[in-house]
Amino acid sequence: MQRTRRFRRATRLVGLLTAGALLAACGAGGRPDDGEGKTTPDVGITDDTIKIGGHFPLTGVAAPGYSEIPSGHKAYYDYVNANGGVNGRKIEYVVKDDAYNPTNTSTVTNELVLKEEIFGMVAGLGTPTHTAVVDFLNAEKVPDLMVSSGSLMWGDDPSKRPWTFGWQPDYMIEGKIIGQWVKDNMPDAKVGLFLQDDDFGRDGEAGARKYIDGQIVETVRYTPGNTDVAPQLAKLQAADVDLVLGFNVPSYTALSQLTAMKINFKPKWFYSNVGSDPALVGSLLARFSEGKVKSSAALLDGVLTTEYIPGVDATDSEWLKLWQKVWDAHGAEGELTNYRIYGMSQAYTFVQALQAAGDDPSREGVVDALEKVGATLEGPGLAPFRYSEESHLGISGMEVVRLKDGKGESLTPVLVTDIGDAPITEDDSAAKDVPPANGIPDVKPAS
Amino acid sequence: MQQLLTTALGGLTLGAVYAAFALALCLIWRSTRIVNFAQAPMAMITTYIALVIIDAGHSYWTGFAAALIGGLLLGAVVERVVVRPVEGKAEINAVILTLGLFILIHAVAGIVFGSRYRSFPAPFGVRGLTVGDTSIALTGFGVFTVVAVVVVMGLLVLLFRYTEVGLRMRAAAFNQEVARILGVKVGRMLTLGWALAALVGSLSGLLIAGGSLVHPAYMDSVVVYGFVAAVLGGLDSPVGSVIGGMLLGLSLSAVSGYLGSELVPLAALVILMAVLLLRPGGLFSHHAERRV
């Protein structure tokens, strides 16, 4: 633990030093100075464009699913651009592949900030990856919005990282909500934790332990990249675990299911939202189903998970109708998937933030606006954002669902909470938000 | 007990794959005296060939055979086209070339097959056996993996020890000039060595892919562990490679299960260092007298 923390601090330091050296090297560049005392617009924004960027794993171990998120962003920005943009500005989204490797993330973030000169980072994906660049972005005062990860780091301490905002519910509140549900509904279950060995697993574990510390009989961690999880599952099996709680990415959901088959391990499974996309995991498992199920999505039948935005299964949701319309008109190849919807939902929030920052948004203006009105934004999220001056954490809650035929059947109302010892309460208010008729938000400037 | 059994059996099957890969490295080493780093992506490409054929509706075994033949051809082509021009120069040239090839094949696979995960079928069940109350974490495919590797090892031992071709290959690798004077067609032997090694490499690719997920980088960890296994066995001995692979598979599986999966690469490196320090020739090297 101590070692990893020190190591992380060291990586951050090295990253910072590298970034610093790079900056010093190109110190002569920077902002154009018109010398007439007029306010110069911020980097990355002109009268008719705004350039933003994001880092995603387009290749490698985390690519399945996640690589689709930027295509959702692009489709929605294209839709907004086709309808006149935001205050006349077209949004240009530059996506770089970091292959889920923090070293690459540093490189591509340098490229985005220094070479592409983006206005802000939007939806950069991954806990280990984004950790490598979050201090650099804050030192450079680059807005770092809607990080695609549920680590607490993006919002629990805005004084430390004033430019960074989370978006999805953080893993700790997810762990709490899952923990409470298990405590209330499966009080006799012997729980085993299957965790990714980083903040993702750690935050989720901390949340779950607030409710079911006594029920957890074994904890195993996998290292992303090592695809052999048999030793880990054997350990859970040896501890007679009958409910596995997984804080893992989708490919490891597939691997854990496959491995469980191999070692005859038949517990109940509860995967956190991140790893539970039935369409993606089902497609990976379909080949091994031995002809017993009709559709590949049904392979995860009975698996418990959580939801915080309406996905492809929410066929009567107005949001899904909007996403489908956007995807049909501006999407890339392929179907509308939950990952693309995730991207579009984030893009929707970004457009709201931009509108809230007024006619001539500055980098600082966007951050201020989100702190001021972020908590009141209406969007696809089932629960409201927690954005304020004290917290940059995102959506505040989710519901517990059971998968059936690729669809999530609600087991609870929307449960809302916060980090720490905040109680869990029911709050369906944000779940009733509907999109405006033209599909583009209309947020008034915050100041 | 159950955990120990499951961990051990898992380690054994995994070890068999490392063994197959080590065999391929050993084969190239024996026939050309270089280490082929491109072995992993070459095996990855042939596995994808099998996957394309299987996805087109053909049987698993058609894909399996196609991958092996593909490996054979790919090995021969790589030797003729890429490695031959640096033949006779320092061995490091060829080794660096194979590193370049590693990157190239990766990129090509990414472009042609895409980089997403895909599932790869297995010809036998992927469900473990149960005997009474004890579950035996050995799938039909796991048994096939171990058997296939042992058979290949046997064939290689026979080839090198009891056939004339094997003798010529060893001669060509050991000393090209002398071999040439003795009438060995050295060029042909080198091509054959590469082709056979690529074939065994393809087999290891198919074995690790079966019943699991593949993507262009899925063989990359195997190249590291396969290399450790080969060094453990002495790089020179097929039997050593297989035992080295099995030992490594068992140790890494135990490390992962009892100590933590984050320590697996570290454990592999510790083993590698220990072997290089204590027995630089490997556990099974018979050629100490050759060193100067």
Question: What are the tens digits of pLDDT across the range B161-192?
Answer: 889 888 888 888 778 788 888 888 888 888 99
Q: What is the pLDDT of residue A11?
A: 56
What local confidence, expressed as pLDDT, does residue A300 receive?
A: 84
- Chain A residues with beta carbon closer than 8 angstroms to that of B110: 59
User: Which residue segment(s) compose the domain that A249 sits in?
Assistant: 172-307
Domain annotation covers residue A196: yes
Q: Which DSSP category does B181 fall into?
A: H
Residues in chain A: 447
Beta bridge pairs of residue A436: none
The residue that leads in pLDDT, B282 or A387, is: A387
Q: Which of A307, A332, A363 is the last residue of a domain?
A: A307
Q: pLDDT at residue B292 above 50?
A: no
User: What integer is the mean pLDDT of B256-279?
Assistant: 87
Predicted confidence pLDDT, tens digits, chain A (447 residues): 445 555 555 555 555 555 544 444 444 444 444 444 445 678 899 999 999 999 999 887 677 788 999 999 999 999 999 999 999 999 999 999 998 889 999 999 999 999 999 999 999 999 889 999 999 999 999 999 999 999 999 999 999 999 999 999 999 999 999 999 999 999 999 999 999 988 889 999 999 999 999 999 999 999 877 888 888 999 999 899 999 999 998 889 998 998 888 888 899 999 999 888 888 888 888 777 655 555 667 778 899 999 999 988 888 899 999 999 999 999 888 889 999 999 999 999 999 999 999 998 999 999 999 999 999 999 999 999 999 999 999 999 999 999 988 888 899 999 999 988 889 999 888 888 889 999 999 998 877
Q: Looking at A291, A307, A323, which one is the last position of a domain? A: A307
Q: Which of A269, A126, A258 is nearest to B141 (CA)?
A: A258
Give the pLDDT score at A6: 55
Q: What is the pLDDT of residue A32?
A: 43
HSE at residue A14, side-chain half, CA atoms within 13 A, is 11
How many CB pairs lie under 8 A apart between chains A and B? 124
The pair of three-digit structure tokens given for residue B196, joined into one six-digit string: 């056979």
- Domain positions in chain B are 2-218
> Which of chain B's residues have a Cβ under 8 Å away from the Cβ of A228?
10, 14, 253, 256
DSSP assignment letter at A269: E
**Neighbour count for residue A85 (Cβ, 10 Å):** 18
Check CB contact under 8 Å for A263 and B10: yes
Q: Look at chain A and report how many structural domains it folds into.
A: 2
Q: What is the CATH number of the domain that holds A140?
A: 3.40.50.2300
Helix or strand run (H / E) with residue A409: strand A407-410
Chain A residues closer than 8 Å to B221 by CB: 225-227
Q: Which residues pair with A97 in a beta bridge?
A: A56
- Compute the average pLDDT of residues B45-55: 92
Q: State whether A247 and A299 are in the same domain.
A: yes
Q: Are B211 and B122 in contact (CB under 8 A)?
A: yes
What's the pLDDT score for residue B37?
Answer: 86
Q: Is residue A100 part of a domain?
A: yes
Cα separation, B289 vs A169, in Å, equals: 66
Interface of A with B in 287-326 (CB under 8 A): 287-288, 290
Tell me the C-alpha distance between B28 and B178, whole Å: 20
* Domain edge (last residue) among A260, A281, A307: A307
Q: Average per-residue pLDDT in chain B? A: 85
Is residue A353 domain-resident? yes
Quote the pLDDT of residue A34.
44
Q: Does residue A207 share a domain with residue A103?
A: no
Q: Picking from A199-208, B227-236, B281-290, which range would have the lowest pLDDT averaged per residue?
A: B281-290
User: Rounded to whole angstroms, how far apart are CA atoms A179 and A207?
Assistant: 7
DSSP state letters, B90-103: -HHHHHHHHHHHHH
The DSSP symbol for A45 reads: B
* Single-letter amino acid code for the residue at B139: T
ipTM associated with this complex? 0.80
Note if the pTM is more than 0.90. no
Contact status, residue B20 vs residue B203, Cβ threshold 8 Å: yes
- Do A179 and A56 lie in one domain? The reply is no
Q: What is the pLDDT of residue A18?
A: 53
A279/A193 same-domain check: yes
Whether residue B137 contacts residue B10, with contact meaning beta carbons closer than 8 Å, is answered with yes
Share of chain B above pLDDT 90, in %: 22
* A425 is a domain residue: no
If asked whether residues A294 and A328 sit together in one domain, one would say no
Contact B254 A284 (CB under 8 A): no
